[in-house]
Amino acid sequence: MNVADSERVSSALEHLGYAFSPVIEEADVIVLNTCVIRQSAEEKAYGRLTSLWPVKRDRPEVVINLMGCLVGIKDNQPLRKRFPYVDVFSAPSDPSPLVEFLIQRHAHETEKAETARRYAVMDGDLLLPHPNIGQQVIGWIPVVYGCSHACTYCIIPYQRGIERSRPAEEILKEAHSLAAQGVKEITLLGQIVDRYGLDQPGYPSLADLLKQLSEIEGIERLRFLTSHPNWMNDELLNCVAELPKVMPHIEIPNQSGDDQVLEAMKRGYTTEQYRELVQRIRARIPGVSIASDIIVGFPGETETQFQNTYNLLEELKLDIVHLARYSSRTGTVSERLLVDDVSDDEKWVRFRALEKLQEKIIREIHATYLNTTVLILFEEKVKNRWKGRTPTNKLVFVESEENLIGQIRPVRIRWTGPWSMLGNLE
Ligand code: SAH
């Protein structure tokens, strides 16, 4: 989501006539987009922000924009006081404060006024940074902003606000502009992406939206994330199974394999329901890959409750499990009402146990790809190899003299490991 938000700022700046600079010291405008999902992310954001102070001191004309979840959706006075060298504060997904600041600043220059008008006209057209045109294979489009679910541990609803689906026309327009700039794969984003449209009367469903996006020439692959077990429905599963451009990969976090912990998290489903859903997904979409998120060390999580999570993952054998150690977030229900009583050491022990289990599972799953032929969409060159993905979102590296960027090619898999595979062009 943050990558997508940053791309929107970048697009707004391109419209205003700015160009991307890889060197911070040479930039006229510096945007720091931030995440606070866990304490570690927040600390990193503060670290980066502090490191920008000498840049501003040496070049007072530089514009510093602090964006994202560190700022949140409320007027953030303490932050403004603490970081007076920040020129613009903006909420997640919202480039407009920066755009308005830059337009104001340059109002006296006729040329800039002209670009401001251009921006107003072209708003909604997603411009990639100029060097990325024809090079950037993957694009991200947020379709639902914010979240109204309020899992007890999660800060997102507070920092990103209530759920707001975007109009389908806007999404389609962005997809068309990405396709015209060479993007081949689009991932639709939302905290509960399957709820797309449900907050607005008359909006299409996510499945309908995927159907419309499927018709765009140039877009070869579509993905969406993140799903929530309560909102994944048969219409969507049918759409993944039937539409050739919608890839067989589902990101559906369960967070815990213990019913009491799930209840304390207010996730809204039981372990049994999650198990059944995984079976339903696998039955409807043969060869599907399934990813999940797990939090270890939620307040009060006992050894036995953790073991239930371990056992469930051992049984379900999911393709990817994003692991997190519980991090208490100020203002969330679990921070206010529960004690963060699992020690840091114990959280690490549980984290490593799942990491080890998952590595074993994924090795086995990947080994089934050996000597098969898969269609790979190539994204970029990393060192001397082309990096691409299978429809199931697995990383594959291939050596070739050809420039493979943006191409979909059949690849014979000749080596598999837990994190990637190697193959040869057929
Ligand atoms: N809306 C999505 C993604 C939320 S953020 C969802 O609900 O699945 C991505 C992941 O960060 C979550 O799935 C969760 O596993 C993790 N996470 C969120 N809050 C956390 C916290 N306070 N401590 C540790 N991990 C957290």
Share of the chain above pLDDT 90, in %: 89
Q: Give the residue carrying structure tokens 């024809």.
A: 134
Mean pLDDT of the chain: 94
pTM equals 0.95
Q: What percent of the chain is modeled with pLDDT above 70?
A: 96
Q: Which are the contacts of 243, defined by CB distance < 8 A and separation ≥ 6?
A: 210, 211, 214, 222
Span 378-412, pLDDT tens digits = 999 999 999 999 999 999 999 999 999 999 999 99
How far apart are the CA of 64 and the centre of ligand 1, in A? 29
How far apart are the CA of 37 and the centre of ligand 1, in A? 7
Q: 325 CA to middle of ligand 1, Å? A: 10
DSSP E strands, 103-248:
138-142, 144-145, 164-165, 185-189, 221-225
Listed in sequence order, the residues at least 6 apart from 78 whose beta carbon sits closer than 8 Å to its beta carbon are none
Token pair in block for residue 273: 């329901």
Mutate to test the pocket of ligand 1, among 37, 163, 188, 333 (most ligand atoms within 8 A of CB): 37
Residue 22's pLDDT is 87
* Confidence at residue 110, expressed as pLDDT on a 0 to 100 scale: 59
The residue contributing the CA closest to ligand 1 atom 18 is 154
**Residue 121 confidence (pLDDT):** 42
- Burial class of 234 by CB neighbour count within 10 A (0 to 12, 13 to 18, 19+): exposed
Handedness of CA 144, 11, 67, 114 (dihedral sign): negative
Spatial separation of the C-alpha atoms in residues 302 and 296, rounded to whole Å:
10
- pLDDT beyond 90 at 129: no
Q: How confident is residue 140, by pLDDT bands cut at 50, 70 and 90?
A: very high
Q: For the chain, which residues make up each domain, given as ranges?
A: 2-120, 130-367, 373-425
Instruction: Please give the single-letter amino acid code of residue 277.
Output: L
Residue nearest to atom 20 of ligand 1 (CA): 154
Superfamily covering domain 130-367 = tm_1862 like domain (3.80.30.20)
Determine the distance separating the centroid of ligand 1 and the alpha carbon of 277, expressed in angstroms. 20
Q: What is the mean pLDDT of residues 126-131?
A: 88
Can you say whether the dihedral through the CA atoms of 270, 273, 279, 282 is positive or negative? negative
Ligand 1: which residues within 6 Å by Cβ?
37-38, 153-154, 156, 191, 226, 253, 255, 293, 295, 324, 326-327, 329
383: alpha, beta or left? (left if phi > 0; alpha if psi -120 to 50): left
Q: What is the pLDDT of residues 351-379, one digit of tens each?
A: 999 999 999 999 999 999 999 999 999 99
Render pLDDT for 250-284 as a digit per residue (tens, 0 to 9).
Answer: 999 999 999 999 999 999 999 999 999 999 999 99
pLDDT of 123 over the 90 cut? no
Q: Considering the domain 2-120 in this protein, what is its CATH number?
A: 3.40.50.12160
Atom of ligand 1 at shortest range from CA of 147: 1
**pLDDT digits over 20-48, tens only?**
998 988 999 999 999 999 999 999 999 99
Instruction: List, for residues 191-231, the tens digit of each pLDDT value.
Output: 999 999 999 999 999 999 999 999 999 999 999 999 999 99
> For strand 88-90 and strand 63-68, is the pairing parallel, antiparallel, or unpaired?
parallel
* Dist. CA 117 → ligand 1 center (Å): 40
Cβ neighbours around 293 below 10 Å, total: 15
Distance 266 CA to ligand 1 centre (A): 13
Distance 151 CA to ligand 1 centre (A): 9
> Residue whose CA is closest, atom 7 of ligand 1?
191
Buried b (16+ CB within 10 A) or exposed e, 246-273: bbbbbbbbbbbbbbebbebbebebebee
What is the reported pLDDT for 109?
62
pLDDT tens, residue by residue, 318-344: 999 999 999 999 999 999 999 999 999
Give the pLDDT of residue 282.
98
CATH topology assigned to domain 373-425: OB fold (Dihydrolipoamide Acetyltransferase, E2P) (2.40.50)
The reply to whether 2-120 and 373-425 are identical in fold is: no
Do 139 and 51 form a contact (C-beta atoms < 8 A)?
Answer: no
- Gap between the Cα atoms of 349 and 297, Å rounded: 10
- CA–CA distance, 146 with 156 (Å, rounded to integer): 7
Per-residue pLDDT of 293-304, as tens digits, reads 999 999 999 999
